[in-house]
Amino acid sequence: MMAHKWMIVTLIIFVCCGVYYYYMTQKENTIAQNVAPTTTTTKVGDIEVLVSGTGQVYAASQVDLKPQVAGDGLDIESIAVKNDQAVKNGDLIATLDTTEIQKTIRDAKLAVENAELKVKQSERQYDTKTVDDKYARQLQKNELIQAQNALSNAYDDLEDYYIRAPFDGIVTALDFSAGDSISRDEVLASVITENVLVKISLNEVDAAKVKENNLVKLSFDALDNVTAQGKVSKVDTIGVVDSGVVTYDVEITFTSPSDLLKPGMSASADIEIEKTENVLVVPAEAIKKDTSGEEYVQVQNTAGMLQRKTVVTGATDDVMVEVISGLGEGEEIVIMNSDNTTSSTDTKENTSSTSSSILPMGPGSGSGPRN
């Protein structure tokens, strides 16, 4: 008797579950059939593949000027320029105290005079043709040459006390005055070129796409509505690892610089990796891929049926995709449709390049009225 009751209870539960499942399935199918797919029309357009990065404006060349004279606490005798002053290659920037080197030159001159006198004296004293006389006279001449070399070296050392511009440019970061002391490790000033460039940092994925001479569009945080054109002039071969992240520096030179640019300004760069013009394009979300890797789109025919079309794609900017073959301009394609129709078309039915499956749509199909 007890077993009979449990059988009845089990049967009731089974029937209730079946009724509930049938109801939910019918409800989902009804909703799916009444959801119209989102469609768009294929068109001709351009696709520009960009890699973006941020960085700074730098002078194309910069040299930090430091004293070349050995020793610490060197006194600055005079400063010949001011900050932001334009200079030519070889122009005097500053002069260090030359007291000590002038003493060295004075002593070297005296040594040369003494050596010259000894040579003249030897010419009179050793006037015989013996071998010993020849050696004695040659020794005096060698001493004269050594003294002359020492004087020449002293004059060379004197040049180190005059700090000059290494190239045509602009003086910057000059923080010393006449009478100040400076060590050999301190920077007296810097000379930068007037022409500038931009350096940005890219991750390893983006850096691998960038090549020399890629065109670049540049903008600057400090300059509203100011843009400039450039091109990639250098991509670092070796990356920098920071906290496990690898980055590469990219150098960009200007093809249309602005007079408003200054070193240190923040810059944003859009590097053109690939550009295709006047090609057939569709939204990226319209492209689907089956289990074999073949790409396709869905179109809706006049009978309200979804038709799959195999396509071959080309360039993409992750928003739009170039369609090389499989579609024509002006065709209406499905971007999104209900879950049941999408899953039904994910299996390749045949190898036709135009269609492989046709699926029915419920009432309300399409993106709008049709003729």
Mean pLDDT (whole number) for 207-231: 93
pLDDT exceeds cutoff 80 at 57: yes
What's the pLDDT tens digit per position in 175-206?
999 999 998 889 999 999 989 999 999 999 99
**What is the greatest pairwise CA distance in the chain?**
154
pLDDT exceeds cutoff 50 at 363: no
CA atoms within 13 A on the CB side of 212: 5
CA atoms within 13 A on the CB side of 310: 15
Mean pLDDT (whole number) for 327-347: 64
> How far apart are the C-alpha atoms of 347 and 349, rounded to whole Å?
6
> How far apart are the C-alpha atoms of 71 and 354, rounded to whole Å?
83
- Give kind and range of the element (H or E) at residue 143: helix 131-159
Smallest CA-to-CA distance from 283 within 47, 123, 53, 3 is with 47
pLDDT exceeds cutoff 90 at 234: yes
Mean pLDDT (whole number) for 215-230: 92
CATH of domain 51-60+192-277: 2.40.30.170
Structure confidence at residue 19 (pLDDT): 60
What's the pLDDT tens digit per position in 81-125?
999 999 999 999 999 999 999 999 999 999 999 999 888 887 777
* Residue 38 pLDDT class (50, 70, 90 cuts): confident
* Residue 347 pLDDT class (50, 70, 90 cuts): very low
> How far apart are the C-alpha atoms of 271 and 331, rounded to whole Å?
32
Structure confidence at residue 370 (pLDDT): 37
Instruction: Enumerate the domain spans of the chain.
Output: 34-47+278-360, 51-60+192-277, 98-160
* Residue 360 pLDDT class (50, 70, 90 cuts): very low
* Residue 257 pLDDT class (50, 70, 90 cuts): confident
CATH of domain 34-47+278-360: 2.40.420.20
Mean pLDDT (whole number) for 337-347: 43
Rounded to 5 degrees, what angle do the CA atoms 273, 275, 279 make? Answer: 150
For helices 99-125 and 131-159, the axis angle rounded to 10 degrees is 160
* Residue 131 pLDDT class (50, 70, 90 cuts): low
Mean pLDDT (whole number) for 52-72: 90
